[in-house]
Structure 1
Amino acid sequence: MINIIYRLKSPKFFEEAIEEVELDGVIVRPTYLSICQADQRYYQGSRPSDILTEKLPMALIHEAVGEVISDNENVFSPGDKVVMIPNTPLGDDGYRANYSKLSKFRGSGFDGFTCDLVSLNHDRLVSLPDDFDLKVSAFIELMTVAYQGIMKFKEFKTPFSNVLGVWGDGNLGYITALFLKQMCPESKVIVFGKHVENLNLFSFADDIYLIHDVPKDLKIDHAFECVGSAASQSAIEQIIDLINPQGTINLFGVSEYPIPVNTRMVLEKGLTLQGNSRSEREDFEGVVSILHNNPQLFSYLSKLITNVCEIRSIDDLKTSFDKDYISDFGKTILKWEI
């Protein structure tokens, strides 16, 4: 079957490529996709030049849902709605697949979902209920990153988990705080950010604070850093200052540069740092289950959608990335009609 793939050849330049798609797995047509900051870094050319040379040309986007076209094993039926898992294990070295060096990741190590058709193994798909909002479902992958970090935190948390702090008022901070309220209902969730207009959207949080206006006597038991870039340094500094002894600091933010950490206070307080990146099938299943059992979450998550772009051409794809780039907050959703 003929497939057209829309690849980023160089920063801000997409090209079409025609390839044959094998029919030995599940064939899915993407329907809604979501732009991630990682996609933007490739599109804007802000990754190091050697990385761009190594990975481009490449189809972008790893957050997407689609519709099943065919399945040679009849596990899925034509028309089934599915969320696609971008992490692709190519072997088993004993590590969790999203941290294994034997795994490849769509939109990073190989082609993402900007194509007419995607061929996937059955275990790279999770079915979606018919009543799911597909625009929100397009960024389930981002939700799974928060979910797997929270699940990992719950494995190691101390008995003192009364106050949880989330640093970052962007998309991941919003989702992490929302899921913490759902997954740790016994805990108080406080969000720390620097944009009043963003923080006002966190209506479900127990408290919100501007990072420069925090009560002097405030303490937290565990923290979730969702800031990233160079700003994660000041976030981690503030976390270490406010966190109680033996707390856990969950790191989600990605930075292109080394971030200094006050190891003296990490040692003095006996803190644990947990790194969190990407996700695996069980995380997708967990998020779909949470959304199915708590449909009210869709109304909160829909507030993250700031742009919905219909994609019928490469020019539309470029326009969507440009719109997303100038958005200070929220997700750009692509209605894939190309």
Structure 2
Amino acid sequence: MDSVTQAALGASIAGAVAGKSLGRSALVAGALLGTLPDLDVVIDYGSAIANFTQHRGFSHSLFVLIPLSLLIGWLLWRWRPQVSLARWLTLVTLVLVTHPLLDTFTTYGTQIFWPVGPPMAISSIFIIDPLYTLPLLAGCLAMLVRPPAHRLVVLGLVLSSVYLGWTLLAQQWMTARVRPALAEAGLEDYRLLVQPMPFNTVLWRATAVTDETRVEVVTGFLDDDQPLTLEHFPRHPELRQSVAGLPEVQRLEWFTRGFLQYDRENAQVTATDIRLGIPGAHPFTFVVASLSADGPAPVNSTQLARPPLRPDAPQILWSRVTGQTPVLCLSNLSTPMPGDGC
């Protein structure tokens, strides 16, 4: 999740656990601890793909954070012994551990069992979702105004947790909706990713990939009973195969679970993480090889600039979320006339 949400979650947990003893300073301690795991972004691992796939790695691992919690909890107890050691350990452990657990609900991927196991990504909530964050901020604000406001802080945590549970139910609902349409379209042996569109859990995007093609579906809870619109995108399997042996490509395939789009661009091979963003505005595209007469040659990966998003994109998205427009074409972020497809 975004830094504001993680800080608000950490502050809320600290306020609930030790707000009566520490007052407003509990919010500060919790917010700082809540952002601690994300400090790995300052580390340069040597290439764009390494930086991309190492983020949310060791600093988000339960094998690292739980021992670290014991150390930090003990140090804070020595600094503020009026709060018991058990309470300090509870506070620090909950704040540090809930950070990667919350990140796991997003699409990016979180290596909570580093150095073993693949990244985990439930993909049921967008990286920024106001309906999750606002209850936490409200509880923190109440504590700032009239500490310790314990009931309101706890209420904020309960409401945000209930909303997180709702995202799981909504995801299953949308998955059940799109699978029959994919079967009717003749898709077999596909991998499916169902995730919310930006800033909400009303409108959802389903991405199904096979070796040859990718299908995108946008559907939401406010849609009528009209048939789903499927958009097809080619995947260029021959290009993928030509760079499959490169270590950085293998790392990227592992991190994204194969949700990649390979393209040729200016005598270079690029790989795009199609899980994040939308077609035409994916934020993570990497140069993975250069093309020559002898075929693709490995390069030290670099990241291309993110394509600019259309100025009217928020308005188009809102119109689709509310059901005012029944179809949203991701290929060009357009809303076709009634009866037309993408």
TM-score computed with the length of structure 1 as normaliser: 0.25
For the pair shown, the structure with the greater C-alpha radius of gyration is 2
Which TM-score applies when normalising by structure 2? 0.25
Higher helix proportion: 2
> Which structure is richer in relative contact order (CA contacts within 8 A, separation 6 or more)?
1
